[in-house]
Each structure stands twice: as C-alpha cells, then as structure tokens.
Chains A and B, each alone.
Chain A
C-alpha cells in the first residue's frame, strides 16, 4: 500500500528543501570548491590547488594570530560562564525570595543583539579606562578581557536557565533520601546533583564553546580587532580577508573551510566526551 502522505511532498518538503539548497547546500559546496581557486567574482575562478591553504599557515600571519586569540578567549569564557551560571542556578533553585525576578534580570542581556552589546560595553570600558589615560584599543589585554566580560554578561543567563531546568528535573525523593542518610551539601552536590545534570552540562558546554568560536558581532562592535589586528577573532579575520583585501577571496574561503573543520571537530569531540560521562553517571 502506498503511503498517501507521499503525494504531498511538493507542499510539505519542497519549499524547505529549495530554501535549504539555495541558502546552505549550494553555497557550502561552492565555498568548498572556491577554496582551491583564486577569484574575485565567482565566475573568474582559477584552480590553484592547495596553495590557498599553504598561504594561510605561512605568509598570512593574521589567521594563526586570530586562531590563538580565539582559543584563549574560548577557554576562559567557557569556564567562567559555566561556573557562574551553574552557581546561580544552584542559588535560584533554593527557596529564596524573589528568585523569579533574579532569573528575569540574569537572562535579559541574552536578548540584546551582539552589535548593541558591543557598543554598550565599549562605552563603559572606555569610560573606566579614560580615568587612567587609556582606551579599549590601547592594549590587546583590554580588548581581551572586555570580550570575556561581555560574553559572560550575555551568556550566563541562557546557561543558567538550562541548568535550572536540569536541577529541577532531579526527583525530589532522591534528594530527600540523601538528606535522611545524612549526606552533607558537598556530597549531595558532587554525588547527586552534578551527575544528574550531566545532560545539561553537555549542552551548555557545547553551546558556549561553539558560540565562543563563532563570535563575530560582539568582536566587530567592541574593538573591530584593534589595536592592529591583535584582538581579531577567526570569524572577523575571515570577514576582513574577504571584504577588506582585494584578491584574497580564495584565501578567505580556505580560512573559512579550516574554521569549519575546527568547529566541527570540537563539536564532535565534546559531544562524545560528555556523552560517555553521562553513561557512567
């Protein structure tokens, strides 16, 4: 018997499929192909083998600088965001007054767009540094810590919500039983709460790592890479290679491919690692 739903393919799937092909699949495959060519407009592409890839790691120093800066940024922000978000989630699941209001406040910055966030913090950081005769673009360190503060301010609330949902899913009788057995706060935290919220930890780590690596708007608005290109992250470096340097489009596309591979590897490794932890627990 033929499934009657099948006849409805043109209505149910085709619009999504065509949009997906045009917006993602074709650009993705074309981008992969163009990374092996030299071009300014797509139609004049000349095949050059892997020379674009070699150039990224040899004569064009901006990519490796940006990659290193991104890694330093990601490590610190992922740790701080998740630690603070998890702590706040623990506090907000106790029976304290005003928890709803606190939750509302902590989540709010997440809804503000990256460009706007970047300028908000630029004004504040510049205002503080002005007293010492500096601005945010005076030193690489100012931009670095500025980005970390900004990212924490934006992401903590989101992760906190996910952790709260995880903590609230722990059956209360398990916690009660632990209390009856005389488990102290620390034992309850490390033996019951953390193992039970492992799925939330997986998703939060995944989200914070990939978001830190892909950060663009905030980077553009806060420092735009200044001083020099020292606070430029990978996404911004790729953008500038495409749009501020004529004749570097092929190199920009090769950088994008490398960037994609790095993000994909991190995502897969991280998912596998925490999934195995989940099974142990």
Chain B
C-alpha cells in the first residue's frame, strides 16, 4: 500500500518533468504559426484568429535563409564525414592494436590527448591551414572532420578491438586472405555495434556543429546552424516569425532521426560513455 502511493508520487514527478522538457519545443511550434509581432510579447499564448498566420513564417524563413540548400549541405557533410570517420578510424584502431610499435603508441596517445583540447586552441590556426591547403569547401571539410573526429573514434574502437581474439584473424590469413580482406570480411562485422556507436556520436556532433563549418566554409556554404545564426545575427530587426519557423525546421530532422533510431542512439551514448 505504502509502496503504491510512493510509486504514484514518483510517476507524477516524472509526468511533470516530461511536460517541462517538452514545453520549450511546444512553445516554438505554436509561435511558428503566429504573427511575428505577437511572438515576443505573448509567446506563451496559443495563436488566435488575429495572430494566426498559417505557413507565412515558413515560406518567409525558407526564402531568407535558403533553408533547403542549408539542409542539403548539412546532410552531405554529416553523411560523408561520418562514413569516412567510421571507415578510416576503425582501420587505424585495428592497426594500432595489432602492430605494437613506439610510433603507434605515440599516435594513440596524441589522439586521446586531442579529445581534451578545447576547439578555441586550434580554431584560428586550423581555419588558416584549411584555407592555405584549399580544404575550405564541402569536400575538404570532410577531411578536417576525419582529423577532429579521430580522437574519440579511434579511442572507442581500440577499447573494443583489444577484446577481439586474434585467432580468427590468423585462421583467415592461413586461408589466404590478405590484410584488407581479413579486416573487412572477418574483423569489421565483429566491430559493427561499436561502429554504430561511433557513427551516432559523430553524427550528433557534426550535424549540430556551428563554429568549425562557419570558420572553414561559412562564407560560401551555409549548414543549418549557420543559416539559423545568420538569420538572427544579421543587422536590422529580426523577423521573429521566420526565426520560429526555422527553429522548428531545424528540430524536425533531428526528431525524426531520433525516433527512428532511438534504440541505437541510447545504446550508443551508454556504451560510448562506459568506455570513456
């Protein structure tokens, strides 16, 4: 009996907390359908006959920010960077574990070290380097993301590979597989859950990343965070209606991604952290 009441109270607490967590998104959603001048004054109110504007904010926002092109650039950069990171860092991690040498250890510790260095430390010099080497385009930035993502990704992969028995690999070599075949046919399938973790963590980071793409390609190519910041950061008065609509459109792909692959995301975050 006492337990039942207690559980009831706990359930109520969770219910209230969930409402509090959903509230901000709900506010942005209702305001995206409101007249721009009524947003800053009464953001908590639902739109009424006077303030409802249908999709006007959306058409305006999409036009002003070039949202579709921003969406496609975000998608392009995220998908290819994550693919490149998973392919190359898994190979590097395996090589580091299987070939013991001073240089490999040095590389490993340098990669781990890079994880704690704040971005501001390399912000200016990295964007200059990217500029000089002509990496300041959507293809070049994939290469830069490989360099920045390598720390965490190699770290997670090596943590897992250390526990993979070497005997299957040796058997495959005796059967006549070359090293590339050994890795992609025998090793990589075993790494798949870890690869998903690495892919998820990097997707969450790259999709939302603002400063790196802004500094490297921001003048010519806008990703979603850059487009949103551009709308707000521009001079003159801010069109609050368009801003609300853009916030909704930015959240939408994330929510769809989250709901469709929630299982992997939660697992990825939990296992990525345990190994950290």
With contacts A15-B88, A19-B146, A113-B250 known, what are 16 further pairs, Cβ within 8 A? A5-B99, A8-B180, A9-B95, A22-B133, A24-B151, A27-B128, A28-B125, A103-B266, A108-B21, A116-B225, A116-B250, A127-B41, A127-B42, A130-B41, A217-B208, A253-B124
Contact A24 B122 (CB under 8 A): yes
In the bound assembly, the distance between CA atoms of A16 and B86 in angstroms comes to: 11
Asked whether A177 is an interface residue with its Cβ less than 8 Å from the other chain, the reply is no
Known contacts A94-B10, A119-B247, A165 near B144 by CB under 8 Å: no
Contact A24 B22 (CB under 8 A): no
Please give the distance in Å from A178's CB to the nearest CB on chain B: 16
Asked whether A274 is an interface residue with its Cβ less than 8 Å from the other chain, the reply is no
Contact A23 B147 (CB under 8 A): yes
| Cross-chain contact of A256 among B107, B118, B154, B255 (Cβ < 8 A) | B118
Question: Which chain B positions have C-beta within 8 A of A11?
Answer: 91, 180
| Cross-chain contact of B126 among A8, A27, A92, A115 (Cβ < 8 A) | A27
Please give the distance in Å from A275's CB to the nearest CB on chain B: 13
Asked whether A38 is an interface residue with its Cβ less than 8 Å from the other chain, the reply is no
| Cross-chain contact of B270 among A119, A161, A235 (Cβ < 8 A) | A161
| Cross-chain contact of A127 among B43, B99, B125 (Cβ < 8 A) | B43
Known contacts A31-B122, A105-B22, A264-B116, A19 near B10 by CB under 8 Å: no
Question: Which chain A positions have C-beta within 8 A of B121?
Answer: 28, 31, 256-257, 259-260
Kindly specify which of A46-54, A72-80, A186-194, A207-215 makes contact with the partner chain. A207-215
Known contacts A17-B107, A120-B28, A127-B40, A164 near B225 by CB under 8 Å: no
Closest to A103 in B: B266
Contact B125 A217 (CB under 8 A): no
Asked whether B179 is an interface residue with its Cβ less than 8 Å from the other chain, the reply is yes
Interface residues of A in 9-57 (CB under 8 A from B): 9, 11-13, 15-17, 19-28, 30-31, 34, 41-42
In the bound assembly, the distance between CA atoms of A111 and B179 in angstroms comes to: 38
Asked whether B105 is an interface residue with its Cβ less than 8 Å from the other chain, the reply is no
Asked whether A245 is an interface residue with its Cβ less than 8 Å from the other chain, the reply is no
Question: Which chain B positions have C-beta within 8 A of A20?
Answer: 107, 110-111, 114, 146-147, 150
Residues of A within 8 A of B (CB): 3-9, 11-13, 15-17, 19-28, 30-31, 34, 41-42, 88, 91-92, 94, 96-99, 101-116, 119-121, 123-124, 126-128, 130, 153, 157-158, 161-162, 164-165, 199-200, 203-204, 206-207, 210, 213-214, 216-217, 220-221, 234-235, 238-239, 242, 249, 252-253, 255-257, 259-260, 263-264, 267
Contact B274 A203 (CB under 8 A): yes
Kindly specify which of B11-19, B53-61, B63-71, B188-196 makes contact with the partner chain. B11-19
Chosen A-B contacts, 28 in total, with CB atoms closer than 8 Å, are A6-B99, A12-B94, A12-B183, A13-B91, A13-B107, A15-B88, A16-B146, A17-B107, A19-B147, A19-B150, A21-B147, A24-B117, A41-B128, A119-B247, A120-B25, A120-B28, A123-B31, A127-B27, A127-B39, A217-B210, A220-B210, A235-B119, A238-B123, A255-B120, A256-B121, A256-B124, A259-B120, A263-B117
In the bound assembly, the distance between CA atoms of A25 and B24 in angstroms comes to: 40
Interface size band for B = 35 or more
Question: Which chain A positions have C-beta within 8 A of B72?
Answer: none
Contact A42 B125 (CB under 8 A): yes
Contact B116 A115 (CB under 8 A): no
Q: Output the residue of B17, B98, B273 with the most chain A CB within 10 A.
A: B273
In the bound assembly, the distance between CA atoms of A158 and B274 in angstroms comes to: 13
Question: Which chain B positions have C-beta within 8 A of A217?
Answer: 208, 210-211, 225
Interface residues of B in 121-172 (CB under 8 A from A): 121-126, 128-130, 133, 135, 143-148, 150-151, 154
Interface string of B69-109 (1 = CB under 8 A from A): 00000000000000000001101101110110000100100
Considering the complex of A and B, which 4 residue pairs feature the smallest CB-CB distances, nearest first? A23-B147, A113-B208, A127-B43, A19-B147
In the bound assembly, the distance between CA atoms of A264 and B124 in angstroms comes to: 20
Please give the distance in Å from A132's CB to the nearest CB on chain B: 13
Contact B270 A8 (CB under 8 A): no
Please give the distance in Å from B231's CB to the nearest CB on chain A: 9
Please give the distance in Å from A248's CB to the nearest CB on chain B: 11
Known contacts A105-B18, A116-B251, A94 near B146 by CB under 8 Å: no
Contact A123 B39 (CB under 8 A): yes
In the bound assembly, the distance between CA atoms of A18 and B197 in angstroms comes to: 24
Question: Which chain A positions have C-beta within 8 A of B104?
Answer: 13
Contact B229 A88 (CB under 8 A): no
In the bound assembly, the distance between CA atoms of A43 and B150 in angstroms comes to: 29
In the bound assembly, the distance between CA atoms of A115 and B95 in angstroms comes to: 38
